[in-house]
C-alpha cells in the first residue's frame, strides 16, 4: 500500500451552477497538495436544459425517473458542459485535470437499478467492486487529476445516472485499498452538520457512529443528510481516514464537521 495521501472532494449543483462559487472552489482545490479527485453533480443545470427542451421530468413519489430523454440530457450536461468547463478552468490554473464518466477506462461499472417494484430507468447502483482501483491508480500515476461527473455505465454499452455522493464515497472506499491516507470532503451549502440550521454557532465539529445514532434519533440529522452521512460512515468503515462536511468556500481549512470512526 502506498503511504501517499489522496483527497477526494465532492461538489454539488450549488457550486457548479454558480460561476463565482465555482471559480473560488477551483482555486482552493488547485492549492490542495498531492493526489486529488473531484466528483461533481449538475442536477440544476440538467433541469434547466430539460426545461429549455420542453422535456418534463418524470417523477415517482418525488423521485426522478431517468428515461431515454433524461439520460441524454444528463450526459450532455454532466459529462459535457459542466465537466469540461471544470477541466478547462483547472487547466488554466495549472492543475492537470481529466474529465471522466465511469465508462471512461471502465473506472466505475454499475448495475442498472432493478426494475421491480419501480422502474427508475437509466439509473446505476454502485456495488462493492464497482470501482476499478488498478486503472484509476495508473491514471493518478500519470499525474492526471480526475474530475468525475455523476454518470457511470453498465458494461453493456449503456450510460447510467448515478448519485454523485455515492460515487465519491465508493471511490474513497476503493482507493483506500491502495492509499493509506484517503480523505473525503463533501462540500455543502452550510458550514457543516448543525444542531440548529438557523444558529451558526451550533456546528457539530466531530461525529462518531454513537453520536450519529443519537443525532438521527433526535432528528437533528434527517432527510437528505441521512444518505450522505450513511455513505460517509460506509467509507470510514472501508478504510477512509477522514470525512469532512464543510462549505466549499472553506476548502483547505480546518472547518466544518469531521466524521471519525
What is the size of the binding site for a second copy (CB under 8 A)? 42
Annotated binding residue 42:
yes
Q: Which is nearer to a second copy, 144 or 194 (CB)?
A: 144
From the list 17, 80, 239, 252, which residue makes contact with a second copy (rule: CB under 8 A)?
80
Asked whether position 43 contacts a second copy by CB under 8 A, the answer is: no
Asked whether position 31 contacts a second copy by CB under 8 A, the answer is: no
Q: Which is nearer to a second copy, 142 or 201 (CB)?
A: 142
CB distance 191 to 203 below 8 Å: yes
CB distance 25 to 202 below 8 Å: no
The rounded distance, in Å, linking the Cα atoms of 74 and 103 is 14
Question: Within 10 A of 119 (CB to CB), how many other CB atoms are there?
Answer: 14
From the list 7, 36, 40, 153, which residue makes contact with a second copy (rule: CB under 8 A)?
153
Q: How far apart are the first and last CA of the chain?
A: 21
Asked whether position 88 contacts a second copy by CB under 8 A, the answer is: yes
Annotated binding residue 239:
no
Q: Which is nearer to a second copy, 110 or 240 (CB)?
A: 110
Beta strand pairing status for 97-100 and 145-149?
parallel
From the list 38, 126, 159, 168, which residue makes contact with a second copy (rule: CB under 8 A)?
159
**Burial code of 21-36, b = ≥16 C-beta within 10 A, e = fewer?**
bbeebbebbbebeebb
Biggest alpha carbon distance in the chain?
51
Asked whether position 92 contacts a second copy by CB under 8 A, the answer is: yes
**What sign results for the dihedral spanned by CA atoms 181, 184, 190, 194?**
negative
| Among 86-94, 110-118, 168-176, 207-215, the segment contacting a second copy (CB under 8 A) | 86-94
The count of C-alpha atoms lying within 13 angstroms of the C-alpha of 13, restricted to the half-sphere facing its C-beta, is 12
Binding site for a second copy (CB under 8 A): 49, 52-53, 72, 75-81, 83-85, 87-89, 91-92, 96-101, 103-106, 135, 138-139, 142-144, 151, 153, 155-159
Residues annotated within the binding site are 42-43, 64, 161
Amino acid at each position: 500500500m502506498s503511504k501517499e495521501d489522496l483527497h477526494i472532494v465532492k461538489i454539488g449543483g450549488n457550486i457548479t451552477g454558480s460561476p463565482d462559487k465555482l471559480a473560488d472552489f477551483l482555486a482552493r482545490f488547485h492549492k490542495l497538495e498531492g493526489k486529488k479527485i473531484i466528483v461533481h453533480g449538475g442536477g440544476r443545470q440538467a433541469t434547466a436544459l430539460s426545461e429549455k427542451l420542453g422535456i418534463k421530468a418524470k417523477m415517482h413519489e418525488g423521485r426522478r425517473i431517468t428515461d431515454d430523454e433524461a439520460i441524454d440530457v444528463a450526459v450532455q450536461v454532466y459529462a459535457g458542459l459542466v465537466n469540461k468547463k471544470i477541466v478547462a478552468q483547472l487547466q488554466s490554473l495549472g492543475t492537470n485535470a481529466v474529465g471522466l464518466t465511469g465508462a471512461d477506462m471502465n473506472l466505475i461499472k454499475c448495475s442498472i437499478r432493478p426494475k421491480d417494484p419501480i422502474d427508475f430507468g437509466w439509473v446505476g447502483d454502485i456495488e462493492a467492486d464497482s470501482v476499478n482501483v488498478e486503472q484509476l491508480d495508473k491514471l493518478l500515476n500519470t499525474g492526471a487529476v480526475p474530475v468525475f461527473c455523476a454518470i457511470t455505465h453498465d458494461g453493456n454499452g449503456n450510460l447510467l445516472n448515478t448519485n454523485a455522493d455515492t460515487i465519491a464515497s465508493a471511490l474513497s472506499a476503493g482507493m483506500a485499498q491502495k492509499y493509506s491516507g484517503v480523505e473525503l470532503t463533501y462540500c455543502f451549502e452550510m458550514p457543516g452538520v448543525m444542531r440548529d440550521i438557523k444558529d451558526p454557532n451550533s456546528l457539530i465539529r466531530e461525529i462518531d457512529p454513537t453520536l450519529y445514532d443519537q443525532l438521527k434519533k433526535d432528528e437533528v440529522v434527517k432527510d437528505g443528510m441521512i444518505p450522505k452521512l450513511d455513505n460517509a460512515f460506509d467509507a470510514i468503515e472501508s478504510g477512509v481516514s477522514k470525512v469532512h462536511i464543510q462549505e466549499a468556500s472553506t476548502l483547505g481549512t480546518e472547518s466544518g464537521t469531521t466524521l471519525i470512526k
